[in-house]
Amino acid sequence: MSSSFASAWVEWQQQLVVYLPKLLASLFIIILAFFVAFYFKKLILTLADKAEYHKHLIRFMGSVAAAIIIIIGIITALATAGVNVTALIASLGLLGFSLGMAFKDILANTIAGVMLIIYRPFTIEDHIQFKELTGIVKDINLRYTTLESDTNEKILIPNQALLNTPISVSTE
């Protein structure tokens, strides 16, 4: 029994010597991905302070970019360690598709919010009329636009509806 244990121990040490460089390289790639993602997000937020774009949009884009960098780093690290990542990448594609279908309204409003912020068909303090609703734009975020009516009511309009329906804008 001790000879089988000794041979198993020797075999484990030989496997460790073979796989240790790959594991160390993988660990280095993961750490590097986290540092790159952190500094990239920090750079985007620093540029956001100087830019005139909406702060919510810049923060959102920074978070998405950091997440993508980390995911690419983890997949690269797994491939470096010798793991077959083909199935993982296919699973991520299916996950993205299913999440897209499950959250299609939220994603549609978010994308419409990004487009409204970039193209600026109206800005804060503009008076707009949307269908039977009228009011002054108080906030434009990624999900909805907030209007204040003449009776001081707060009206939340989904950005997708604003992007797909004609509106009247008055810059008073």
**pLDDT tens per residue across span 49-76:** 776 666 667 777 788 888 899 999 999 9
57 & 127 share domain: no
The CATH number linked to 10 is: 1.10.287.1260
- Does the pLDDT of residue 1 top 60, yes or no? no
* 116 domain-assigned: no
95 & 149 share domain: no
**pLDDT tens per residue across span 98-132:** 988 888 888 888 888 888 888 888 888 888 888 88
Q: Strand order in 133-140's β-sheet?
A: 154-158, 144-148, 133-140, 127-130, 167-170
pTM above 0.75, yes or no: no
| Structure-token pair, residue 41 | 């997000």
Contact of 57 with 114, CB cutoff 8 Å: yes
Partners of 130 in beta bridges: 133, 167
Of 8-17, 74-83, 113-122, which range is least confident?
8-17
pLDDT of residue 154: 92
71 & 133 share domain: no
* 114 domain-assigned: no
Domain that includes residue 133, residue range: 122-170
Report the number of distinct structural domains present in the chain: 2
Point out the domain boundary residue: 53, 73, 102.
102
